[in-house]
Structure 1
Amino acid sequence: MSAIFAISLATAAIVALVILIARFRLNPFIVLFVTSIVMALVAGMPADKVVGSFEAGAGHVLGHVGTVIALGTMLGKMLAESGGADRIALTISGFAGRGRVDWAMLVIGLLIGLPVFFEVGFVLLIPLVFVLAERTKTPLLRIALPMGAALSVTHALIPPHPAALLAVSAYHANVGHTILLGILIGIPIAIIAGPVFGRFAAAHISLTEANPLAEQFVHSDVQTSLPSFSLTVFTILLPVALMLLGSAGDLLTIPHSALNDALHFVGNTDIALVLATIMSFYTLGKTRGFSAETILRFTNESLGPTALIMLLIGAGGGFGHVLVDSGVSKAITDAALVAHMPLLILAWLLAVIVRIACGSATVSMATASGIVGPILTHSTGVSPELMVLVTGAGSVALGPMNDAGFWQVKEYLGLTVPQTLKTWSVLETLIAVSGLVLCLIASVFVH
């Protein structure tokens, strides 16, 4: 397959998605499924392999993200019904002031995002975003976008995220130096894509459609009796602490020992979230006077609005998998390798290409670092740590529609497809471009 044909086919598929969903208002799941099938057949993929490829991609994504969304939504529902979200929102707005809640949300996102995946941090923090927006009468986008930017930056640039660790290994970078540079470069990137862009976007885009997800987390009146701030923060940070403990397991214990295995087990994303959710049934449920029947009703109610989100995330994963299996992704990547360019730019461009092709930032970063890593061993004058960061920046570019995060942001914030492209896709591109520019500047001083 020629590179020109592959690029044309991928572009046509993406344009078709936008037009069919935004212009003709067709169901996004059906559009993603049909477009994936047609694209695979046009690319020459055997007809008996096409549906299986889509199902494999959808199943792979939903196997992890579906569980995370379900548990995170239950935890968020308990946070909202107990008044815990109100307590945190009132405390944050009181400390930061109503005019700076977006900056406060940026800081919270950076802290929460360090040890957790984007999807996990998003479902943990979105109830706070809804409540803060309501209580402070601040546009939702002005608070939500800084939170999303912070989570995306930490996910892409700073270990111990798995993709970043894979890139550290591929480039033989120093983990400590990577974390330090990641923080120094990541903070200004998060500021640009977060509060700065968030205020601009909120001033130009109005959210008019009813949002059932926001409604279930926000109540019309602040409860007179609220749980303590410390208990609420303990509950929402429990999964974060468990995941951080799991990632540090090899440093704290002997590898492959019983205690080491136990730490890795409780630090698993799904296990940490289910333990925290069960804990919330007591800390934010039983202690607040809710009966077991009421808690069951809360958890059941919370799952209804997430059904479409899960379907769209799965379809996005299927679309990305078809791009890979059909050979479209490889043809585009091979074309980029032929062009001779500086390694920092090559790594960034490859990450962008794989991101467009498969949607996943993790896959993008791992793939690009795996390709460029061997080239770096034969080069001099390039910082391995900056290679990790520039690859991570490229891995989040464009916020394409075959990325689970695109649909997660769209549905939770109640955006249309064009609005999501104008906000989330632009935000992700700002992170990518800012990361490339800052890494190129830093390369003058860091070798």
Structure 2
Amino acid sequence: MTSHTWKLLLILAVAITALIYLINSRLRIHPFVALIVVSVATGVAAGEPVNELIESIEDGAGSTLGDVGLTLALGAMLGRLLSDSGATDAIAHAILDRSTPRRLPWLVTAAAFVIGIPMFFEVGLIVLLPLIFSVARRLEDQGDTKGSPYVLLGVPAIAALSTLHGMLPPHPGPLTAMTGLHADLGLTLGVGIVCAIPTVVLAGPVYARWIAPRLPEVRPDAALVAQFTGAGRGTDDRSAALSAGPGAQSRTDVDPRAGLGVGLAVTAVLIPVGLMLLRTLAETVLDEGDALRSALTFVGEPLVAMLAGFLFALGVTLWRGNGTGEQTRTSMTDSLKSIAAILLIIGGGGAFKQVLQDSGIGDAIASAAKGAHLNVIVLGWLIALLLSLTTGSATVGIVSATGIVAPLVGTGGGLEASLLVVAIGAGSLGLNYVNHAGFWLVKESFGMDLIQATRTQTVVQTLVSVIGLGMALLLSVFA
């Protein structure tokens, strides 16, 4: 490598250090501002002309938000609509009704897996908490469970929700990585599901069976349990009790048996995924120029697929009279407020990625990685892990790691790019600790001390991270 290459790598190291410092300093600079500041400073230090630097920032932020932002907004509204209508409650109750205590952790996993497709981790957990607490309290009264029933049922939900949030589109992190790495949507969904299933099983029900007997004293505050499970308690009260947890959105209390039926609810959740998979199938088996292939390719675009799922849920909700049009519009507006910060961070990450590429730092990374013979999947996972740990933001970890390793995979996509998306998403989940909001949500919800929360939230998400990497490396044998 030349001296100029070493200089660019040094600039990158300083940029990452500065990003971590700005986010974690006493000033607690917002990650979006920190990303923009670091992007400008990096471009100037690397010698990129000022007029081109501004263009890089605008193009990077604009293209990333154009690819991800609209889909993310529709996903947030779909998740809120399903929650407001009682659909998520209906799914969860349908899965858990008439089950045995031994099967309950697996059924909670299934419920969380379905509900987690359109919902962020924090929102999905808050939606599931009433059900988890109700069933756990019943197990507690029966005395049939070794250890804490709240841990036994909570850990599978944490594992499923975090895995989907970090490793599968249409969640914002994987979708951002997929766009930045030019990965194929259907292939990424396919390998993501293959990697996610064993990951969720091992980090969820299997680990729950082991850890629950070792934490018998874990029990949420009695008032919180009563608030989540008592008749006539609204979710507004629940969200207030968990005000420290981001993503806690108020909604009107609903009867989980009313609103959307289970079949319609599952259909609304799976429409976007199904359309995206149909697109991949069409591109695989149909010839270019075929009218059916063109149609399926169009409806399988993430934006169109998510729009279809949202419109289906909206139409059924209004048809069944679950709330007035004004209430629905207000609810949709509130759902967008909760993702504004995430959209800004994604845009800032896109700007940082584009500056790295346009300033020549991306080429320097590629040169260094090729010279050191580093496995790109391990490299992407490790960078996302370290950035997520040090900044307290999985989104920052994903978007920054994507920009750093993007030059190593080019623009051809393929299996390696899709596996890299999964590995980066898995890396962003590991070592989830006190600087992550999700850690505190779990800790306070389940009434844990720091050690107990570490043995559940931190360990579960680290297991998800490591197993996800292992699955990606295993599948890379076929790349």
Match of 1:89 in 2: 92
Match of 1:260 in 2: 293
Match of 1:147 in 2: 161
Match of 1:279 in 2: 312
Match of 2:23 in 1: 18
Q: 1:293 to 1:321 in 2, by over 3 A?
A: same
Per mean C-alpha deviation after superposition, the further-off stretch among 124-133 and 6-15 is 124-133
What is the CA distance between 1:53 and its match in structure 2?
1.6
Match of 1:30 in 2: 33
Contact 1:75-1:280 within 8 A present in 2 as well: yes
Per mean C-alpha deviation after superposition, the further-off stretch among 38-47 and 221-230 is 221-230
Contact 1:92-1:101 within 8 A present in 2 as well: no
Per mean C-alpha deviation after superposition, the further-off stretch among 122-131 and 7-16 is 122-131
What is the CA deviation profile of residues 404-435 of structure 1, one whole-angstrom value per residue up to 9, with x for unaligned ones?
xxxxx9699979xxx9xx99999787556545
TM (normalized to structure 1)? Answer: 0.68
Structure 2: tracts of 5 or more residues without a match: 134-149, 222-240, 388-396, 430-435, 443-449
Please say if 1:319 is aligned against 2:352.
yes
The count of residues paired between Structure 1 and Structure 2 equals: 398
TM (normalized to structure 2)? Answer: 0.64
Q: 1:28 to 1:91 in 2, by over 3 A?
A: same
Matched position secondary structure for 1:284: helix
What is the CA distance between 1:48 and its match in structure 2?
2.4
Q: 1:76 to 1:252 in 2, by over 3 A?
A: same
What is the CA distance between 1:131 and its match in structure 2?
1.4
Please say if 1:213 is aligned against 2:213.
no
Task: Give the aligned residue type for 2:361.
Answer: V
Counterparts of 2:102 and 2:39, CA distance in 1: 44
What is the CA distance between 1:122 and its match in structure 2?
4.5
What is the CA deviation profile of residues 156-195 of structure 1, one whole-angstrom value per residue up to 9, with x for unaligned ones?
9x9xx978x9789xxxxxx9xx979983x65444445556
Q: 1:392 to 1:28 in 2, by over 3 A?
A: closer
Counterpart among 8, 12, 24 of residue 13 in structure 2: 8
Counterpart among 60, 66, 69 of residue 69 in structure 2: 66
1:6-405 to 2 correspondences below 5 Å:
6-20=11-25, 23-94=26-97, 103-104=106-107, 106-107=109-110, 121-123=117-119, 128-137=124-133, 143-150=157-164, 152-153=166-167, 183=194, 187-192=197-202, 209-211=243-245, 213-216=247-250, 219-220=252-253, 222-223=255-256, 225-251=258-284, 253-340=286-373, 346-352=375-381, 359=399, 367-370=407-410, 391=420, 394-396=423-425, 398-399=427-428
Matched position secondary structure for 2:57: helix
Contact 1:17-1:32 within 8 A present in 2 as well: no
Q: 1:304 to 1:110 in 2, by over 3 A?
A: closer
What is the CA distance between 1:279 and its match in structure 2?
1.7
Per mean C-alpha deviation after superposition, the further-off stretch among 27-36 and 102-111 is 102-111
What is the CA deviation profile of residues 231-280 of structure 1, one whole-angstrom value per residue up to 9, with x for unaligned ones?
21122222222222222124564431222211111121111221222222
Match of 1:379 in 2: none
Counterparts of 2:322 and 2:426, CA distance in 1: 46
RMSD: 5.1
